[in-house]
Amino acid sequence: MTESVLVTRALVPEAMRALDGRCELDLYEGPPEAIPRDELLRRAAGKDGLLTLLTEKVDAELLDAAGPQLKIVANHAVGFDNIDVPACTQRGVLVTNTPDVLTEATADLAWALILASVRRVAEGDRFLRSRQPWVWGPSMMLGHDMSRKTLGIAGCGRIGGAVARRATGFGMRLIYHDPIRLPSDVEQSLGLAWVEFDTLLAESDIISIHAPLTPDTRHLFDADAFAKMKPTAVLVNTARGPIVDEPALAEALRSGQIFAAGLDVYEREPAVEEALLDLDNVTLLPHLGSATIETRTAMGLLTVENLLAGLADRRPPSLLNPEALSRR
């Protein structure tokens, strides 16, 4: 019997080819927006597997709509805040994500935003495109030096560590805050010092966020946090939007409480806080962290590998809830 699978958006061609003939495929090919919720509930019914993106909320309602035959939810993302993992575990549904394969690409993009924010790259590009007259000037569009500055990593897992590794060439001091301290040999090899969150806020010239979205990290960066940062500081977020209170960030940027920000993710994604769109000291990207050909291919293939393993009652390589195995 062929297992049936709902894929909520076409993956890169290599990954779609890896699915060919391996299951009965129901692919959402609607408009560019995410699959509407009512359609998701309807098309999930009777499926053995769901291949979801971060845009789909996988909760008890969806699991019930799918039915008791559902074996696996394979998420095409490393973050899984869109999935109610305990609800899946309770029903014996396996959940997988795509760790490791996107670490380097996401760290690269964090650095792209760091440099763009510190050196006003996107603002300079917009300025030239506005066709205003200009001439080189000693005080024109000044940013800040990188060298001898302090880079603060908020949340230091795989991606935070990769961001820290890239700082070596810039001659920076590196500090991090994470509720779980890294082993001291890892701290030493990355040149990272653990600090309290308030110290991270007060001492960092650049803060790059690499924490998962959880109830503890929601609005971790709010008006209080911005008040503790340096007026020359830059905030970069390539993790999840709701970790930053967007209206409070817009106000901190507008009033000069902090120097600049670089965002790849948004609180109410895909919506972007209107006040940010009018500010020159914020660089905005449409969630491109893992968006390289190589990385999206690896993510797609890993998602398919996870999915097919779950459908075949084998243990998927990136299983998040092994406890679900004993409930099937």
Query: Any idea which residue has 């795509």 for tokens?
Result: 98
153 binding ligand GLV? (CB under 6 A): no
Residue from 23, 51, 54, 156 touching ligand GLV (CB under 6 A): that is 54
301 binding ligand GLV? (CB under 6 A): no
79 binding ligand GLV? (CB under 6 A): yes
Task: For 145-211, give the DSSP string.
Answer: --TT-EEEEES-SHHHHHHHHHTGGGT-EEEEE-SSPPPHHHHHHHTEEE--HHHHHHH-SEEEE-P
Rounded to a whole number of angstroms, the minimum distance from the CB of residue 66 to ligand GLV is: 22
Read off the amino acid at residue 246: E
77 binding ligand GLV? (CB under 6 A): yes
| Contact range with ligand GLV by CB under 6 A, out of 71-79, 155-163, 172-180, 184-192 | 71-79
Residue with smaller CB distance to ligand GLV, 152 or 289: 289
78 binding ligand GLV? (CB under 6 A): yes
Rounded to a whole number of angstroms, the minimum distance from the CB of residue 169 to ligand GLV is: 26
Size of the site for ligand GLV (CB under 6 A): 7
- Count CA atoms closer than 13 A to 83's CA, side-chain side: 26
For residue 111, give the 3-state DSSP assignment. Answer: helix
| Contact range with ligand GLV by CB under 6 A, out of 72-80, 122-130, 253-261, 273-281 | 72-80
Asked whether the CA dihedral 234, 236, 242, 247 is positive or negative, the reply is: positive
Burial of 106 (0-12, 13-18, 19+ CB in 10 A): buried
Rounded to a whole number of angstroms, the minimum distance from the CB of residue 321 to ligand GLV is: 17
Name which of residues 85 to 104 contact ligand GLV (CB under 6 A): 102
| Contact range with ligand GLV by CB under 6 A, out of 76-84, 191-199, 203-211, 305-313 | 76-84
Read off the amino acid at residue 87: A
Active site residues per annotation: 240, 269, 287
Name which of residues 200 to 219 contact ligand GLV (CB under 6 A): none
Rounded to a whole number of angstroms, the minimum distance from the CB of residue 146 to ligand GLV is: 26
User: Mutual orientation of helices 158-166 and 103-118 as an angle, nearest 10°?
Assistant: 50
Asked whether the CA dihedral 180, 185, 191, 195 is positive or negative, the reply is: positive
C-alpha 269/C-alpha 277 separation (Å) is 14
Chain residues in the site for ligand GLV (CB under 6 A): 54, 77-79, 102, 289-290
